[in-house]
Amino acid sequence: MTIRSYKGIVPKIADSAWVDVSAVVIGRCELAQDASIWPNATLRGDVNDIVIGARTNIQDGAVVHTTHESAVSKGSKCIVGQDVTIGHNVVLHGCIIEDECLIGMGAVVLDNAVVQTHVLVAANSLVPAGKVLESGYLYMGSPVKQARLLTEQEIAFFKYSAAHYVRLKQDYEAEELANTNNG
């Protein structure tokens, strides 16, 4: 596992958050309780803040970065809420993802976009800079378009998926402990 400081700032990682051995978490990152970071994901908190909410999973190969602060701009932090699923190979750049969303595999979300609570972004979609995705909808395409309202079952799945990933990371923690104890 590579958790390292940048300019002396060390990532803040809650006790029950889990980071895979091959993931990289740098600098101005905060991981809340039961958050999980999966193989080869990168959270590069060098030029601005990255905040990951409770029970949120950042899956394999995802990249999370931000835009830097300057004399004329505060830049863009990347804030991900709680009970969010970030699929394999997603890119989140300086954007806000609110609670209980699913960002499908390979999607790209650009600076200052806001994905409101209870949104499903389809696999391989592009969310343009500054776009606001309205709560309760499926968005699809490159660039994304509002496709349809989500069903109750789809909305319920967001919390299920987050809870599933908490259980899965607990399996990995147990495996790591067993491997350590076995020398």
Ligand X SMILES: CC(C)(COP(=O)(O)OP(=O)(O)OC[C@H]1O[C@@H](n2cnc3c(N)ncnc32)[C@H](O)[C@@H]1OP(=O)(O)O)[C@@H](O)C(=O)NCCC(=O)NCCS
Residues that bind ligand X (CB under 6 A): 59, 87-88, 102, 104-105, 120, 122-124, 138, 140-141
In the bound complex, what is the minimum distance in angstroms from residue 106's beta carbon to ligand X? 7
Q: Judging by DSSP bridges, how do beta strands 24-31 and 12-13 pair with one another?
A: parallel
In the bound complex, what is the minimum distance in angstroms from residue 43's beta carbon to ligand X? 17
Closest to ligand X by CB, 42 vs 124, is 124
Closest to ligand X by CB, 75 vs 141, is 141
Closest to ligand X by CB, 26 vs 122, is 122
| Nearest residue (beta carbon) to ligand X | 104
In the bound complex, what is the minimum distance in angstroms from residue 15's beta carbon to ligand X? 26
Closest to ligand X by CB, 50 vs 150, is 150
Residue 36 parent element (H or E): strand 36-37
In the bound complex, what is the minimum distance in angstroms from residue 79's beta carbon to ligand X? 20
Closest to ligand X by CB, 50 vs 158, is 158
Nearest CA to 97 out of 75, 120, 125 is that of 120
What are the distances in angstroms from CA 26 to CA 47, 62, 114, 150?
A: 10, 14, 23, 35
Cα(152)–Cα(52) distance, rounded to whole angstroms? 25
Nearest CA to 57 out of 171, 163, 177 is that of 163
In the bound complex, what is the minimum distance in angstroms from residue 121's beta carbon to ligand X? 8
Question: Residues near 142 by Cβ (< 8 Å), separated by ≥ 6?
Answer: 124, 125, 126
**Identity of the residue numbered 6:** Y
